[in-house]
Every structure is written in structure tokens, then in C-alpha cells.
């Protein structure tokens, strides 16, 4: 069971959380402006990298807040977490 | 039975506490502190089981968790029988009934041993090669025969009578293993004040020190050192000692799971104690001190009862005071067996040691034996005996040539093929192993998690080194690095020359040298597998089943791996190793299940009127985690009769339904209406406070997620209802959008599902029933029209009273704070007797709504249904620029004429009640596979109409009105007519209570 | 139409309160969920309606029978003795006037248990995966978490632990805790 570092509550057991899939896929401001292919891309297309992945997490059975996390999908290590709306942190500094 | 092989004055067993148990019906005596294995050996019982495949007689091979042979059925009474227990780890307890496995009619005379005679054909891959053809033989002949022969032991058939519990715990340092390394680590870590857990799988902590009669540590005997260490640890409040506790799984982020055997060693355990406790440990740091497993030697017939590991001989002699034989031949390629032989000699036993290594290669251990006790430079080519070993056949080796054979008479063989560090948990932690050629073993390399290994599991075998390493590991894990030297004497004999299969003068094709004793895999099988092209060690493992038995190859994996590497002439690291997975040793299902059985298997959620309904004899059904009243049968009534009566009551007079399980969400804030506009296809801005509206919720893909009535309580406050099972889903869906897409909206959501109990009062007399109890609300039709909501009081408590109907009748849904629901219900029920008020359940509710053509999400919908598909396109606001799901509804596929659309079906014969889920076709004569047009979603015998009705989704259904189609039945097809999905009161007049022919017209 | 019936509904909690034992069912109470926007750096009111809101996330302030547990950055569970809620609601509204907040009465939504004695944390840890030691979860702590398969709110006002769960989950929670408490009886 993972130990998920909630940015509000600190490290908490995985069972309290729900993973919401890939982060930083904003709902288009004007969906009607998108053609069918672009809308389908928004709805269904997700990346699944081997390595660092930005994910949405919900501390469902804790503080109830959604947040984003960078997790290494190979080692399961959480590199950092950050609040919704913040940009993806640059971790090219060797982490 | 006399304990003829008990050595006077030796061992840690408590001779003041004799115990007796039965083995295959015979009484066996022993002492507290014995394992089943040590007690049996003390009584001279060597034959303890039959091997899995060849049914060869087997005795105990080891003295611990790695045992492959001595597997027992242990019977502690009804519901407490358990197969495949290792005799080497089960403590001898008074009154236990144990029996050996895998033989018929008896252990001594086993029909199955004919397999041993046909062994030449039962080679690796036998099943794959033999049972291929003819295909038709598989189901009737091969599979039943193989299944009958498969498996070990007898699975219990009674429910487990024991109780198991779970415990979550946290610590700074978890030390696994309480041998010298683990004890030193725990001392160091706890001295630093950290929270330390020390877990050890054995009854007694101390590990190898418990069998060490010669070593001294800082001037203390090994035994005294153990006592000192345990006493010190017990005196520290920050240290927790868990014996009889196996760390079997190492998971992510230092989550280690242990299983503690709490009562198995007690003859009469306290009833309040659980049998086992599963510890879920989250450790900041882990120290692995899991020791090493000794390797057997590969030679012909190395599996006869009495042939065991050298260290096991030493342990039985020193720790249990048991002589596994009187004339013991040790066979080895290394140093540690010399200590075992010397200890056996010191106990008065006759010993000879055969060493594969020439005299010149033997180290200081040589001094432990006299000249006539040692045969250096000798190989072992076989053994003699039947149900017990009678001799070991050895031969001198000279320049790689095997000399003349001679047989050394013996009744026990102690073999040692070197040591394999127990890296299981390290490997489970995803750490990378590295191979150290000089000790011929994989050891922990780079760590992935916060853990470190110490002692024999890291390839360190000398006692002083083990203790120092343990201390360092414990101190570092505690975050206060320190070192400590332990004076350990005499020096531990270490070192061995790797040997895969011992040199022999026999035809290698005829030699059966067992590597995996439990699955009967021989060196020859490994060779065959490699010759047949299985070069990956993972493939060899699966093809030969080496290491796949319940012991998971603790004594055999390295031997097989070494052999593959030798045959392929590749280095071991290139061949690799198989993956270690949890559990380290078998874990009971009970421990894993814990409390999750019976009433605590899953929460059973009950509504406020549940007790009342149960007293009325209601039948219940499960809806998500809820248990809802399904119908209320009167004496002599079946379900059909009860539901028909309940439906008639609602149509003709009045019925009561506990609707409390409906999900409810309070949506509050100045932007509440805007939020609702975005979440739902309908418009909400113009909904006045005091009014309700049906809300259909879509997912972003345009398909229906849920539905429910929404009441606007105030400009900034909505009372949203959801389906019973959809409540958590809808709340999560809303909260997700609110937090992640529209954080600018000033809206908050609060789940009020359980705050409000809901009583649906439905039927033409509903108003009359509630009127005497309601205050502060004008119930007249003019003041309180359909789809209105009012706040007031009922029975003096606050209510949100809604005039809504899921039955098509005049009706109210009374929301009251949940704890008041039962009182309100009982008052209404008592008062309503004059109208024949009838409680109804979910089945009647389903029938009533189907008659009226109302959908149920999850019944008429399946996640691929749009509002238009179910005839609800009118719900979709044309005025709104955007809402969740809108863009998807504009996709061309969503508007196709052949989409499945909701229709009604009437059976042509007027009698057949269709099956829900049945498929629908246009032509029953068409070629297979038939084109299926859709399926039946709901089907009932309508008590109101007195004929069957059904709802279905059918391709292009709305254009098929009046068509005859065919629906599958268990017997074939039945004809149906397609009609509109409303069977009663299409104009919706009944909600006004004006029922033609009804009592209240 | 007949005369109005003059009876007053009585409260029937899902579990009857119990007095003794390590796992005690507490009597009915009044409760509210208070929510406010709490972006980082926001200045939030330190009190309302007599409840101390000043504690950080996952803390509780107040007395065992009247407390405010901060369960989210901007979310509090307010609990007070049955009957006191009537006056509390307008008091909070008045104290928070001019500020956007949501206050929803949930007094009947929850059932509550009190666990006391030397093994209270051990009993809870049968189903709660959090560290409940005095250092990690000292008196004054509060959080939402899971007990077995059920969401619960755990607050520690004083030495004992108070556990709240939704009404319909109470029989499960009660059975779970009693099973866990058995070995310490």
C-alpha cells in the first residue's frame, strides 16, 4: 500500500485516496469550438508514461481535497505534490 | 512411545512439562518447546510423509520454515483442521492430532509409490507431452485423473471456527529476524529511543544462537547473550517483541505485513484471543536479518528419511536434545558442517564427515574432528535404505575421477551444500540483487526502499561480523550511526566450494538427485528442460515446477539455478534468478480475511424504518450496501401476491415506502444555480425557490450518469436527490468539477443522505394521511401543487415536504431528520389504517414506476444511453451554451436514427412475462448469428392492468411503434408488440388524486 | 378532515446509547458542517457561534461534548449536545455575516462512539491505518479516515477517542470495534 503525501495532511495510507488519472487536462473553455476529433482527444486520450507522471489524486477519505502529484510509475516514488491549478513543477534538477 | 532418541541433559525443551499428541493415530510424547518434528525424531520416527509426485518415503529435511518434506494435516477440532503444516515449525501441543499426507492406504504402505517405478516417463514436461491427444480424452479422462492426483493435503470443508484480527501499527525501525544480527540491530535501534518492532517467526527468539553451545559473545554463552538481549529489549518501552510472527510480505513505501500465530501453541487458549493477528506495519526504516538457508547436496537417492541438512542435525541435537540418529555421516563441501559434526560428537553420537574438498582445501575447521572421522576428497554417489537411510555410498575423488565405492553404515546423514542468504523480503522490496561468486550466492545490492540487511541474509556468516553488522544496521536505521564490536569466540567456520551435483561414476541419465524435494524435481529434470530449449530460469522453473511448491524452493532454487548456469556455461548473474513474491511462507486465509466475515464482512446499511419493516416480516434486497425492504408478505402470500396487493393499495388508496436511501446533497452558495446549470442539462436559473425539478445528470461523454428530483429551497440552496446506489458517485462527480475545473464558483456541497429520512406517501389518499400531522404548510392542491417543496413541521419536527411522485399517483415525500423517521412513519401507519394504508417495498415501487413509464438509471440505462435514447431530450436546455455532456451529445453518432431507444413491449399472447435482459430480433428465421435489435430492460406482470408489461431499448425503437418483434425466452422466442413506454395514465392526471373508479374520485 | 394529532416525534437513533465498556455508544448530538473558502494564505475567522475555529487542519478545539474538528482546509465538523444546535445556527450565521460560508445541519447524519482505556488505540488500529500513538495523534487531533470498509471521523478531545460515522454504518462500526475489543476485555 502506497504512502501518499497529501499536500494538506502529509503522508497518508493509499486507501484514503482515489487516483483521478492524468493531470493537466483542462476542460476546454468552449467545447463547441472543438471538432469531434479534438473533443475525443480531450475526453479519452491519456498518456501512460514509464517514469514520472503527473496525476490527479483525491484525498477522498481525508481532507477531501483534489491535488496533483508527480509519481514515478516504475518505482512508485512520489516526487512531489502540488495544489490544483499550479503548473507542473520542473524536476529536471536531477531528481 | 518412549523417547529413545532424547539426549539427556541437552536442549531447551522443558522436561518438567511433558506433552502428548497423536501422529497417524499413534500417541507421541515430547516436551514443551518441541516442534512436531523434534518430538517425532525423539521417538525414532523418521518416516513423515510421501513425496508429491513419486510418493517416495520422506523424512524431515530441515528444522525450520524451509521444510519441503514433512507436511502434516493438523487437526485442532471441528473447523480447525488445516493441511500442509510444516512439522518443523508447528509447536508440539498436548492433544493435537496430526497426520501425514499424500498416501493411501497408509504412510508405510502407499499404492501411489508405483509412480516411483515408472519415474523414467514422469519427467519434466510429462503432462504437457502426454495429455495432448486425443482431444476428446481431456474432459472425461485426463483432467479428472490429474485433478484427483493433484494437490497436497485435504482442504477443510467446515467453516473456520477461529477468529482472526488485523492490527495497523507504525514504528521507526522494524527488525525482521531475532537471530544474532536482528538482536544486535534491535538493541542498537532501541537504545536510540526509537520505536522498534522486532519480529521473529519462531516460538523462541535467538535464531541460530539457540542451537549454539560453543560460542561466547562478550564472555557470555550464546544462550546467556540471547537472554540478556531479550531482557534488555523487554525493559525498553519503545521496543515491541513479536515472536511467532512471520514477516511475509514487503510492499510499497515500507509497508511490511506480518502474521502472528497467537494461540496455536496453547492447548487451551483463552476464548477471547484470536488465533492469528495480521500486523500491517508501516516502518520508517526496516532492518532485514532473515538469516540463510542451508543447501542440500545433489546425489543419487539423497532423499531417504534420515538424510537431512547438517545444521538441522546440529539444531535437533543442541536445541531440542534429540539425536536424529546414532551413527551420523556428514557430507559436505564446506566448513559449517564440521561444527555440526563436532557438536554431534560432543553429544555422544558416532560421526564421520565426508568432504568433497581435498585435504589441502580444508580450513581451520579441520581441527574440530579427529583424523579417523574425516574422509576428505570424497564424493557421495548414493544411499541405501528404504523407509530410512541405512548407509551412504561414497567414493574417493582423484583428479576428477571417481574411485572405488564404499558404503558407510549410518542411520542419519547430515548434508551441507553451502548457504543461501534469505533475500526474499529484500527482493520483494524491489531491491536489486548482486551475485557474490566467492560465496556463490545472491546478496542484497542496491536498495529501493528505506531498508538495510545484516548478517547471514547479507552473506556474512561469522558470528562477530554478524553481530557488528546487525548493530550498525540498527543504529543507522535509527538515525544515530554507531558501531560496536562484539567479542565472539571461537571463530565461526565459514566457506564452501560450490557444487551443483556431486561427481558420480553412475550413468547420469539414471541418477535421481533431488533438488526440489517437495515437487520431486531432480537434477536430470533440469538438464532435460535446458536441452529442450528452456534456457530462461523462469521457464525452467515453470516447466519443471522447481521451486513452485509451498516451500517456494527455499532449499532448491540455487541448486537449479547453478545447474542451469553450469549446463549453459553461463555465469549465474547472466542466467538470473526467479522473482521472489509474497508470501515468504504460507499464510492462512483467515489471517488475510481478518474481521471481514459474517456481519463485519461488509457494512450492511439499513434505513431508519428497517427495524419496523423487519418486525412486519418484510423481505429485503441488497441495493449497493443498503438492505432495503423488498416486499411485505402477509401470511400465506408469495412475492407475486404481496407485490400485487401493495401496488393495488397505492393505486386505489395509499401506500408507504421508506425512501431514505436516496442520495441527497445540499448544494449551497451564491453560485449554486450556475453550478447546477453546468452540471445538469436542464436549466435551473428560472426554478423558483419552493419548486422541484427532475434532474438528469450526464457524464462528459454524454451518457446518463444518474437522475433524481432537485428541490430549490432558497435562491442559494438546492436539495439534490440521487439514486440510492449513485449517491457517492454523483457527489464525487460534482466535487471533482467544483474543485478542479471551476474553483472560482462560490458553492459548497454537503452530503445529507443520512441527515434526512424520507417517507414516500403515495396514493389518492396520501394528503388525507399526512394532513393531521403537518403544521405550517398549506396542503391544498392550489397552495401545494405537484413538484412543490415546502418547509414546515410534521409531528412537531422540521420537514422538507415535497409533492412528488415516482408512482404516478398523488404523493408526498416527507423528509425529516433521520432519527425522527420511525416516529413519523409509525404515526402515519397507525392513522392510515382507516384507509387501509399499506407499506410497500422496492419491488412494488419498480412495478408502479414501470406502469407509468419512469426509467431507473442502471436498469433502463447502462452507461451508453443518452437522454434522447430514453425519450428525455426535452430535459436538455437549448438555451445553455455549455453543460457537462453537451458537446458529446453533438457527435453524429449520438443522433443516429438506429440508436437503441426506449419503448414499451406487450406480449402478443397477453400472458408471457418477458425475461429482463432477453434479446430482441425482428425475424426468427434469419441465419445465425442473428441481428439483435436490443434487449428487455424491465419486465413485470402489471397488477393494475392485469397483463405483462415490459420496457426495452430497441434499435430505432420509436419508429417501430406497432411492429411485432420477437424476444428470446428459455424455450425459444415469443412475439411482442412495440408500444409507447407508458402503460398507464399517459396524460399524468392521477398525480392530482383524481382517480376514476377509485375510492377518492 | 379529522383534528390534527398532537404528538411530537421522538428521536430514535440507530444505536441506543451505552454506558460501560471500552467501546461506548454516545448519546445523540447536534452537528453542523461548516465550510469556507480557504485558499493558501487566507485569513479565516478564529471563532463562530462559540466554536473555536483557530486550530490547524486535522485538529480539534473545544470540550468533549462541544467541539470544532477541522477536517479540511476550509471544513469543520461542529458538534454540540442535543438541543444546543438550535441557538448555534443563528449565532454562527451572525458571527460569520458578510463572509461566504455554508452551514448545513447534520445532527442526525452521524452516530458516535467513545473509546477509552489503555487499549483504545489498539482497538481502533484494527481498522484504522493511521498512527494513533500519543506522538502522532495526540489529544487535540482530528481527522477523517477509514475504519475497515467505512469512512469515519476520529477526534481526540482529551485522552479518549471519539469516532463518528454515518448513521447507517453504525452497526458495522459497532460490531467491528466490539470484535477488535474482545481480546482486551
Query: Residue B49 is placed in which grid cell?
Result: 510423509
Tell me, yes or no, whether B883 lies in a domain. no
Pairs from B264-272 (Cβ < 8 Å, separation ≥ 24): B264/B76, B264/B90, B264/B91, B264/B93, B265/B91, B265/B93, B265/B203, B266/B93, B267/B19, B267/B93, B267/B94, B267/B95, B272/C182, B272/C183, B272/C185
Tell me whether residues A43 and B892 touch, CB distance under 8 A. Answer: no
Would you say B577 and B536 are in contact if contact means Cβ atoms under 8 Å apart? no
Residue B997 has pLDDT above 70, yes or no: no
Given this model, what pLDDT does residue B149 score?
65
Would you say B188 and B172 are in contact if contact means Cβ atoms under 8 Å apart? no
Tell me whether residues B607 and C168 touch, CB distance under 8 A. Answer: yes
For B154-211, the DSSP string reads ----SPP-S-EEEEEEEEEEEEE--SHHHHHHHHHHHHTT--EEEE-SSSSS-GGGGG
Closest chain B C-alpha to C114 CA, distance in angstroms: 19
Identify the residue among B166, B755, B791 best suited for mutation to test binding to C, counting C beta carbons within 10 A and taking the highest.
B755
Nearest-by-CA chain A residue for B251:
A1
* Each residue's pLDDT tens digit, C68-120: 999 999 999 999 999 999 999 999 999 999 999 999 999 999 999 999 999 99
Mean pLDDT of B43-65: 94
Given this model, what pLDDT does residue B71 score?
95
Q: Is the ipTM of this complex over 0.85?
A: yes
Tell me, yes or no, whether B606 lies in a domain. no
Phi first, then psi: give them for residue B573, nearest 5 degrees: -60, -30
Tell me, yes or no, whether C139 lies in a domain. yes
Domain harbouring C121, CATH code: 3.30.1360.120
Nearest-by-CA chain C residue for A1:
C129
Cross-chain CB nearest to C73 (options A12, A16, A65): A65
Buried-state track B878-903, b at ≥16 Cβ within 10 A, e below 16: eebeebbbbbbbebeebeeeebbbbb
Strands (E), B3-143: 14-23, 26-32, 49-50, 57-58, 71-75, 81-86, 97-100
Range of the domain at C52: 23-184
Range of the domain at B33: 1-154
Same-domain check for residues B433 and B382: no
Q: How confident is the model at residue B181 (pLDDT cuts 50, 70, 90)?
A: very high
Residue B571 has pLDDT above 80, yes or no: yes
Q: How confident is the model at residue B133 (pLDDT cuts 50, 70, 90)?
A: low
Q: To which residue does cell 434486497 refer? A: B621
Q: How confident is the model at residue B147 (pLDDT cuts 50, 70, 90)?
A: low
Q: Which residues of B touch A58 (CB under 8 A)?
A: 732, 736
Tell me, yes or no, whether B736 lies in a domain. no
Tell me, yes or no, whether B871 lies in a domain. no
Given this model, what pLDDT does residue B406 score?
97
Same-domain check for residues B433 and B412: no
Q: How confident is the model at residue B132 (pLDDT cuts 50, 70, 90)?
A: low
* Each residue's pLDDT tens digit, C137-163: 999 999 999 999 999 999 998 889 999
Nearest-by-CA chain A residue for B448:
A75
Residue B128 has pLDDT above 60, yes or no: yes
For the beta carbon of residue B208, count every other beta carbon within 10 angstroms: 22
Same-domain check for residues B265 and B340: no
pLDDT-wise least confident of B148-157, B374-383, B413-422: B148-157
Given this model, what pLDDT does residue A95 score?
42
* Each residue's pLDDT tens digit, B516-559: 999 999 999 999 999 999 988 889 999 999 999 989 999 999 99
Q: How confident is the model at residue C166 (pLDDT cuts 50, 70, 90)?
A: very high
Residue B182 has pLDDT above 90, yes or no: yes
Percent of chain B at pLDDT above 90?
89
Residue B970 has pLDDT above 60, yes or no: yes
Residue B998 has pLDDT above 60, yes or no: no
| Average of per-residue pLDDT values in chain B | 94
Residue B148 has pLDDT above 90, yes or no: no
Tell me, yes or no, whether B858 lies in a domain. no
Q: How confident is the model at residue C19 (pLDDT cuts 50, 70, 90)?
A: confident
Q: Which residue has the higher pLDDT, B154 or A63?
A: A63
Given this model, what pLDDT does residue B995 score?
55
Identify the residue among A2, A13, A14 best suited for mutation to test binding to C, counting C beta carbons within 10 A and taking the highest.
A13
**Cα gap B638→B644, rounded to integer Å:** 10
Cross-chain CB nearest to C102 (options B669, B775, B818): B669
Given this model, what pLDDT does residue A5 score?
97
**Cα gap C48→C28, rounded to integer Å:** 22
Residue B673 has pLDDT above 80, yes or no: yes
> Is the CB of B750 inside 8 Å of chain A's CB atoms?
no
Given this model, what pLDDT does residue B505 score?
94
Residue B999 has pLDDT above 60, yes or no: no
Domain harbouring B555, CATH code: 1.10.10
Tell me whether residues A65 and C72 touch, CB distance under 8 A. Answer: yes
> Is the CB of B282 inside 8 Å of chain A's CB atoms?
yes
Mean pLDDT of B732-754: 97
Quote the number of domains for chain C: 1
Residue C51 has pLDDT above 90, yes or no: yes
Phi first, then psi: give them for residue B54, nearest 5 degrees: -95, -5
**Cα gap C68→C79, rounded to integer Å:** 6
Cross-chain CB nearest to B600 (options C5, C14, C175): C175
**Cα gap B262→B274, rounded to integer Å:** 7
| Average of per-residue pLDDT values in chain A | 94
DSSP B367: G
Same-domain check for residues B208 and B288: yes
Mean pLDDT of B874-901: 95
Tell me whether residues C183 and B602 touch, CB distance under 8 A. Answer: no
Q: How confident is the model at residue B579 (pLDDT cuts 50, 70, 90)?
A: confident
Closest chain C C-alpha to A15 CA, distance in angstroms: 8
For the beta carbon of residue B269, count every other beta carbon within 10 angstroms: 16
Strands (E), B222-326: 239-242, 245-251, 255-261, 276-288, 292-294, 307-309
Quote the number of domains for chain B: 5
Same-domain check for residues B385 and B452: no
Closest chain B C-alpha to A18 CA, distance in angstroms: 10
- Residue B867: name the closest of B831, B819, B902 by CA: B902
Given this model, what pLDDT does residue B380 score?
98
Same-domain check for residues B174 and B286: yes
Mean pLDDT of B679-686: 95
> Is the CB of A1 inside 8 Å of chain C's CB atoms?
yes
pLDDT-wise least confident of A68-82, B150-164, B316-330, B885-899: B150-164
Same-domain check for residues B78 and B147: yes
Strands (E), C39-160: 47-48, 51-52, 59-63, 66-72, 75-81, 101-105, 110-115, 142-147, 150-155
Q: How confident is the model at residue B750 (pLDDT cuts 50, 70, 90)?
A: very high
Given this model, what pLDDT does residue B192 score?
86
> Is the CB of B699 inside 8 Å of chain A's CB atoms?
no
Same-domain check for residues B222 and B147: no
Kindly report the CATH class assigned to A3-83: alpha beta
* Each residue's pLDDT tens digit, B356-370: 999 999 999 999 999
pLDDT-wise least confident of B53-57, B444-448, B861-865: B53-57
Strands B717-722 and C29-36: unpaired
Residue B1000 has pLDDT above 50, yes or no: no
Mean pLDDT of A9-21: 97
Residue A92 has pLDDT above 50, yes or no: yes
* Each residue's pLDDT tens digit, B484-527: 999 999 999 999 999 889 999 999 888 999 999 999 999 999 99
Percent of chain B at pLDDT above 70?
97
Mean pLDDT of B730-736: 98
Mean pLDDT of B423-437: 96
Amino acid at each position: 500500500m502506497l504512502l501518499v503525501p497529501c499536500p494538506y495532511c502529509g503522508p497518508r495510507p493509499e486507501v484514503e485516496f482515489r487516483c483521478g488519472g492524468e493531470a493537466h487536462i483542462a476542460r476546454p473553455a468552449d467545447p463547441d469550438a472543438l471538432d469531434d476529433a479534438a473533443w475525443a482527444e480531450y475526453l479519452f486520450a491519456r498518456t501512460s508514461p514509464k517514469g514520472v507522471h503527473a496525476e490527479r489524486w483525491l484525498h477522498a477519505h481525508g481532507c477531501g481535497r483534489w491535488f496533483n502529484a508527480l509519481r514515478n510509475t516504475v518505482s512508485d516514488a512520489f516526487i512531489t505534490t502540488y495544489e490544483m491549478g499550479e503548473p507542473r513543477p520542473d524536476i529536471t534538477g536531477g531528481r | 512411545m518412549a523417547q529413545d532418541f532424547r539426549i539427556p541433559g541437552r536442549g531447551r525443551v522443558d522436561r518438567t512439562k511433558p506433552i502428548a499428541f497423536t501422529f497417524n493415530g499413534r500417541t507421541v510424547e515430547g516436551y514443551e518447546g518441541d516442534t512436531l518434528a523434534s518430538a517425532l525424531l525423539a521417538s525414532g520416527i523418521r518416516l513423515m510423509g510421501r513425496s508429491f509426485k513419486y510418493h517416495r518415503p520422506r523424512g524431515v529435511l530441515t528444522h525450520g520454515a524451509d521444510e519441503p518434506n514433512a507436511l502434516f494435516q493438523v487437526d485442532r477440532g471441528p473447523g480447525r483442521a488445516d493441511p500442509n503444516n510444516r512439522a518443523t515449525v508447528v509447536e508440539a501441543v498436548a492433544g493435537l492430532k496430526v497426520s501425514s499426507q499424500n498416501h493411501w492406504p497408509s504412510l508405510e504402505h502407499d499404492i501411489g509409490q508405483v509412480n516411483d517405478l515408472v519415474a523414467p516417463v514422469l519427467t519434466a514436461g510429462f503432462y504437457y507431452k502426454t495429455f495432448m491427444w486425443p482431444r476428446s480424452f481431456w474432459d472425461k479422462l485426463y483432467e479428472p485423473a490429474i485433478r484427483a492426483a493433484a494437490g497436497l493435503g485435504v482442504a477443510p470443508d467446515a467453516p473456520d471456527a477461529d477468529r482472526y484480527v488485523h492490527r495497523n501499527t507504525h514504528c521507526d525501525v522494524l527488525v525482521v529476524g531475532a537471530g544474532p544480527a536482528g538482536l544486535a540491530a534491535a538493541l542498537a535501534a532501541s537504545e536510540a529511543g526509537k520505536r522498534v518492532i522486532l519480529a521473529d517467526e519462531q516460538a523462541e527468539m535467538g535464531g541460530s544462537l539457540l542451537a549454539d553451545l560453543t560460542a561466547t559473545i562478550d564472555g557470555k554463552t550464546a544462550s546467556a547473550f540471547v537472554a540478556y538481549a531479550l531482557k534488555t529489549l523487554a525493559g525498553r518501552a519503545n521496543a515491541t517483541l513479536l515472536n511467532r510472527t512471520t514477516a511475509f510480505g514487503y510492499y510499497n513505501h515500507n509497508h511490511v505485513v506480518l502474521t502472528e500465530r497467537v494461540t496455536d501453541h496453547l492447548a487451551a487458549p483463552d476464548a477471547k484471543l484470536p488465533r492469528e493477528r495480521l500486523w500491517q506495519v508501516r516502518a520508517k526504516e526496516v532492518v532485514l536479518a532473515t538469516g540463510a538457508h542451508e543447501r542440500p547436496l545433489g546425489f543419487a537417492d539423497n532423499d531417504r528419511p534420515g538424510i537431512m541438512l547438517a545444521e538441522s542435525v546440529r539444531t535437533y541435537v543442541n536445541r531440542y536434545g534429540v539425536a536424529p540418529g546414532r551413527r551420523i555421516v556428514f557430507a559436505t563441501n564446506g566448513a559449517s558442517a564440521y561444527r555440526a559434526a563436532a557438536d554431534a560428537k560432543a553429544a555422544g553420537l558416532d560421526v564421520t564427515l565426508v568432504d568433497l574438498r581435498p585435504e589441502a582445501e580444508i580450513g581451520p575447521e579441520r581441527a574440530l574432528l579427529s583424523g579417523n572421522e574425516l574422509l576428505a576428497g570424497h564424493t557421495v554417489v548414493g544411499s541405501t535404505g528404504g523407509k530410512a537411510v541405512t548407509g551412504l555410498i561414497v567414493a574417493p575423488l582423484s583428479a576428477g575421477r571417481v574411485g572405488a565405492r564404499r558404503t558407510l553404515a549410518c542411520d542419519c546423514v547430515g548434508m551441507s551444500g553451502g548457504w543461501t542468504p534469505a533475500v526474499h523480503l529484500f527482493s520483494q522490496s524491489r531491491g536489486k540483487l548482486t551475485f557474490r561468486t566467492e560465496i556463490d550466492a545472491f546478496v542484497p545490492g542496491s536498495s529501493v526502499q528505506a531498508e538495510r540487511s545484516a548478517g547471514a541474509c547479507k552473506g556474512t556468516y561469522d558470528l562477530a561480523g554478524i553481530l557488528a553488522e546487525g548493530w550498525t544496521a540498527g543504529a543507522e536505521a535509527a538515525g544515530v550511526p554507531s558501531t560496536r564490536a562484539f567479542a565472539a569466540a571461537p571463530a565461526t567456520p565459514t566457506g564452501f566450494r560450490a557444487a551443483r551435483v556431486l561427481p558420480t561414476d553412475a550413468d547420469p541419465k539414471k541418477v535421481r538427485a533431488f533438488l526440489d524435494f517437495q515437487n520431486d524435481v531432480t537434477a536430470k529434470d533440469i538438464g532435460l528442460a535446458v536441452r529442450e530449449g528452456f534456457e530462461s530460469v523462469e521457464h525452467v522453473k515453470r516447466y519443471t515446477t522447481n521451486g513452485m511448491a509451498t516451500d517456494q524452493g527455499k532449499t532448491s532454487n540455487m541448486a537449479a539455478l547453478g545447474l542451469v548456469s553450469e549446463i549453459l556455461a553461463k555465469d549465474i548473474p547472466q542466467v538470473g534468478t526467479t522473482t521472489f513474491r509474497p508470501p515468504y511462507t504460507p499464510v492462512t486465509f483467515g489471517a488475510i480475511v481478518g474481521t471481514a466475515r459474517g456481519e463485519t464482512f461488509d457494512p450492511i446499511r439499513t434505513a431508519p424504518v428497517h427495524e419496523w419493516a423487519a418486525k412486519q416480516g418484510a423481505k429485503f434486497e441488497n441495493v449497493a450496501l443498503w438492505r432495503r425492504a423488498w416486499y411485505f408478505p402477509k401470511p400465506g402470500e408469495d412475492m407475486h401476491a404481496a407485490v400485487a396487493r401493495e401496488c393495488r393499495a397505492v393505486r386505489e388508496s395509499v401506500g408507504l415506502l421508506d425512501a431514505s436511501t436516496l442520495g441527497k446533497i445540499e448544494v449551497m452558495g451564491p453560485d449554486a444555480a450556475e453550478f447546477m446549470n453546468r452540471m445538469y442539462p436542464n436549466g435551473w436559473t428560472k426554478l423558483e425557490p419552493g419548486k422541484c425539478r427532475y434532474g438528469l445528470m450526464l457524464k462528459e461523454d454524454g451518457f446518463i450518469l444518474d437522475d433524481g428530483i432537485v428541490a430549490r429551497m432558497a435562491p442559494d440552496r438546492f436539495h439534490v436527490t440521487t439514486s440510492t446506489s449513485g449517491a457517492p458517485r454523483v457527489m464525487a462527480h460534482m466535487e471533482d468539477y467544483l474543485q478542479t475545473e471551476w474553483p472560482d464558483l462560490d458553492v459548497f456541497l454537503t452530503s445529507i443522505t443520512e441527515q434526512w429520512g424520507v417517507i414516500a406517501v403515495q396514493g389518492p389518499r396520501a394528503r388525507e394521511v399526512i394532513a393531521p400531522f403537518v403544521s405550517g404548510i398549506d396542503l391544498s392542491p392550489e397552495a401545494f401543487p405537484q413538484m412543490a417543496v415546502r418547509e414546515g413541521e410534521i409531528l412537531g419536527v422540521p420537514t422538507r415536504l415535497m409533492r412528488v411522485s415516482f408512482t404516478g399517483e398523488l404523493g408526498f415525500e416527507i423528509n425529516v431528520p433521520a432519527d425522527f423517521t420511525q416516529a413519523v412513519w409509525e404515526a402515519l401507519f397507525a392513522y392510515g389504517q382507516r384507509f387501509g394504508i399499506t407499506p410497500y417495498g422496492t419491488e412494488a415501487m419498480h412495478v408502479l414506476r414501470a406502469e407509468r413509464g419512469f426509467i431507473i438509471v442502471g436498469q433502463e440505462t447502462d452507461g451508453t444511453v443518452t437522454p434522447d435514447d430514453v425519450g428525455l431530450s426535452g430535459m436538455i436546455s437549448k438555451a445553455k451554451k455549455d453543460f457537462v455532456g453537451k458537446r458529446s451529445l453533438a457527435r453524429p453518432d449520438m443522433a443516429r436514427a438506429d440508436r437503441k431507444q426506449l419503448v414499451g413491449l406487450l406480449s402478443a399472447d397477453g400472458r408471457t412475462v418477458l425475461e429482463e435482459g432477453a434479446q430482441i430480433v425482428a425475424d426468427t428465421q434469419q441465419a445465425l448469428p442473428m441481428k439483435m435489435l436490443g434487449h428487455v430492460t424491465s419486465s413485470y406482470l402489471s397488477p393494475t392492468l392485469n397483463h405483462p408489461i415490459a420496457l426495452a431499448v430497441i434499435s430505432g425503437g420509436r419508429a417501430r411503434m406497432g411492429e411485432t418483434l420477437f424476444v428470446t425466452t428459455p424455450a425459444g422466442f415469443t412475439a411482442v408488440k412495440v408500444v409507447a413506454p407508458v402503460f398507464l395514465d399517459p396524460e399524468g392526471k392521477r398525480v392530482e388524486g383524481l382517480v376514476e373508479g377509485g375510492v377518492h374520485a | 378532515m379529522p383534528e390534527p394529532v398532537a404528538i411530537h416525534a421522538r428521536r430514535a437513533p440507530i444505536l441506543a446509547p451505552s454506558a460501560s465498556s471500552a467501546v461506548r455508544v454516545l448519546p445523540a448530538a447536534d452537528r453542523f458542517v461548516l465550510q469556507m473558502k480557504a485558499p493558501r494564505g487566507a485569513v479565516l475567522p478564529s471563532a463562530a457561534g462559540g466554536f473555536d475555529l483557530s486550530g490547524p487542519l486535522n485538529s480539534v478545539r473545544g470540550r468533549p461534548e462541544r467541539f470544532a474538528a477541522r477536517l479540511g482546509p476550509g471544513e469543520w465538523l461542529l458538534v454540540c449536545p442535543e438541543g444546543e444546535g438550535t441557538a448555534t445556527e443563528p449565532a454562527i450565521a451572525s458571527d460569520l455575516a458578510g463572509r461566504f460560508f455554508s452551514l448545513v445541519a447534520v445532527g442526525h447524519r452521524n452516530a458516535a462512539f467513545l473509546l477509552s482505556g489503555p487499549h483504545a488505540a489498539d482497538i481502533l488500529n484494527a481498522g484504522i491505518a493511521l498512527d494513533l500513538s500519543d506522538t502522532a495523534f495526540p489529544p487535540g487531533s482530528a481527522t477523517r479516515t477509514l475504519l475497515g470498509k467505512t469512512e469515519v471521523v476520529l477526534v481526540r478531545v482529551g485522552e479518549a477517542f471519539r469516532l463518528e460515522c454515518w448513521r447507517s454504518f453504525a452497526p458495522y462500526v459497532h460490531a467491528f470495534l466490539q470484535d477488535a475489543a474482545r481480546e482486551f476485555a
